[in-house]
Amino acid sequence: MRMVDLIEKKKEGFVHTQEEIHFIIDGYVHERIPDYQMSAWMMAVCFQGLNKEETAWLTEEMMYSGDILDLSSIQGVKVDKHSTGGVGDKTSLVLGPMVGACHVPVAKMSGRGLGHTGGTLDKLESIPGFQIQITQDDFIKQVNDCHFSIIGQNANLVPADQKMYALRDVTGTVACIPLIASSIMSKKLAAGTDAILLDVKYGDGAFMKTKEDARLLAQTMIDIGTSLGKDTRAVISDMSQPLGNAIGNTLEVKEAIAALNGQSPDDLLELCLQSASYMLLQAHITNSLEKAREMLEEVIKNKKALNIFAQMVKAQGGSEEYIFNPELFEKAKEVIAVKSPREGYIKDLKAKPLGIVSMKLGGGRETKDDCIDYSVGLILNKKIGDFVQIDEPLVYVHTNSGLSEELKTTIINAYTISTKYVEKRKQVDEIV
């Protein structure tokens, strides 16, 4: 069997056998197949797709490419949540502590930034001292103690996905349903949780551009999880504009902290409350969505969720002082206001260009070896449905390298302004 033949086979639209999928993943993990051939195969998959059986085989091969975590010693129903990624998506930093504060263990593995979207691990590493790699024993102890932990993949857990994840980011093979589904579900299944909630996003700022594609991705992942005995559900949410007001690692952490203090933008808080409510149902804490929401609102009000976040940060080597005093975070050298050229209502706000601006300021990666500047990013002053006057700020740019005319124009062009009234958009469209 030769990799070049399998690339040709998929390029022509033929279906792989289970043995061929094993050959590809095993060969790539053990470095018998080089990056350039794996890139070619993934591009062929982007164009030709994988059927249901191929996707399931790919997921299992990736899942079993390394260790499988045994989390049976964690008390209670372990619930994990995963977002397919979007601009300004910091929901894990908000709903994880909320759910943990309701005594549901949240044992979560997260990833780094992909393309124009930020990664949860990158956000957490903006907290001084925070460690994303801890031992399995410490991970289990932490979840038992404070009901919440977010870690990165260690070298032995789903190594196939670690290699493929980094490669997809720099080869234009991110937005592909079989590759997204197998990447997410191989990590979730290897992580040993009992139930999985998926936040599948669509729109300009997401990898899925339409609600139909988001629904297809959600159902693909639910089928994989259900076939392996996991309670898997999905929220379909709108990412046609950034989530919340902050884009950029430190800025998003500070917005998450504000949310846990009850001072969140409405769209971020609503998505977190709805998603976390389903997680409480999956954990059998309650069978009522209304009761679940009441419990979550209470742990924000009484600061239990904020304290859980601080406990998690401290347990993983970070400074909890930054959680209680977010003004301690390093700030960018300049804050530059980008002002509106006209008056009216914000009719449309494209998330992807704003995510790319943040990346070009240093807040994300253009290549897998790029270093991140945690302090840079954008704070949105106006979103869809808001009224703006001429010369009123649309966005505040936090930068250490100034703001070029090109990036300024990109920001202004991301906005569509109408003279007619525009309603604000709802965040969650449906539950699968």
Q: Which residues are catalytic?
A: 82, 161, 168, 183, 187
352 within 8 A of 239, measured Cβ to Cβ: no
Rounded-to-integer distance, Cα 286 and Cα 278, Å? 10
What Å distances lie between residue 150 and 116, 189, 317, 369, 428, CA to CA? 22, 15, 12, 22, 24
Give the closest residue to 379 by CA, choosing from 245, 281, 234: 245
State phi, psi for 105 to the nearest 5 degrees.
-70, 125
Rounded-to-integer distance, Cα 77 and Cα 398, Å? 41
Rounded-to-integer distance, Cα 293 and Cα 271, Å? 12
Rounded-to-integer distance, Cα 88 and Cα 118, Å? 7
Q: Which residues of 13-41 are buried (b: 16+ CB within 10 A; e: fewer)?
A: eeebeeebbbbbbebbbeeebeeebbbbb
Rounded-to-integer distance, Cα 432 and Cα 213, Å? 13
Rounded-to-integer distance, Cα 106 and Cα 99, Å? 7
Rounded-to-integer distance, Cα 68 and Cα 114, Å? 24
216 within 8 A of 406, measured Cβ to Cβ: no
Stretch (H or E) spanning 348? strand 344-349
Residue 143, SS3 per DSSP:
helix
Rounded-to-integer distance, Cα 372 and Cα 252, Å? 14
**Using the 8-state DSSP alphabet, how is residue 396 labeled?**
E
Structure tokens at 365: 């990666």
Q: Which residues of 209-222 are buried (b: 16+ CB within 10 A; e: fewer)?
A: bebebbbebbebbb
Give the closest residue to 235 by CA, choosing from 204, 279, 190: 279
Rounded-to-integer distance, Cα 427 and Cα 270, Å? 7
The amino acid present at 136, given as its one-letter code, is Q
Q: Report CA torsion sign: 402, 408, 410, 412.
A: positive
Give the closest residue to 148 by CA, choosing from 189, 117, 180, 120: 120
Rounded-to-integer distance, Cα 275 and Cα 431, Å? 9
